[in-house]
Amino acid sequence: MNNIKQLLVRDVYKTISLKPTVVPENTKLEDVIRAIIKDPVTRSVYVVDSKQKFIGFITVLQLLRLTQIREGGALPRIDETREIFQIETTSRIDEVMHPSIFVYEDDSLLKVLGKMLEEKVQELPVVSKEKKIIGDLNCLEILKGFWKI
């Protein structure tokens, strides 16, 4: 195997998360939640346009935070007020998804880890040069790769 600093996305993805959860851009929020529940390994649901190109995603943590707020468990933080309002007032995923942050198979795993920590996400889609989803990189795969477990 490669030196740890030379690990690439291709070296670790598809070792735990075998098939990304993907939905069309007009999917209702309830159906996104159903898709997440079907795959207990997933941390995100990826959204594609009519040509199957990746356009964004929504995370499990976003949905958990929304649930907490809806059920009266907490008030939204100032920095998340806009996002929570959008989620509360819509039923469509394409109106509340994260922008299209993604990685390529040839990306450095160490740089990708930095991107994930900066964006506070636990999973990112792996896309082809045409922006079609070919897999996803789960945080557990990163741990497995760096720790050689």
Strands (E), 1-149: 22-24, 44-48, 54-59, 123-127, 133-138
Q: Which domains does the chain have, with CATH numbers?
A: 4-147 (3.10.580.10)
- 99 versus 86: the higher-pLDDT residue is 99
Segment 24-54, tens digit of pLDDT:
998 988 898 999 999 988 899 999 999 999 9
pTM higher than 0.85 = no
Residue found under tokens 């964006």:
119
Distance CA 143, CA 6 (A): 15
Between CA 72 and CA 64, with CA 98 as vertex, the angle to 5 degrees is 25
Segment 65-96, tens digit of pLDDT:
777 767 777 666 666 666 665 555 566 676 67
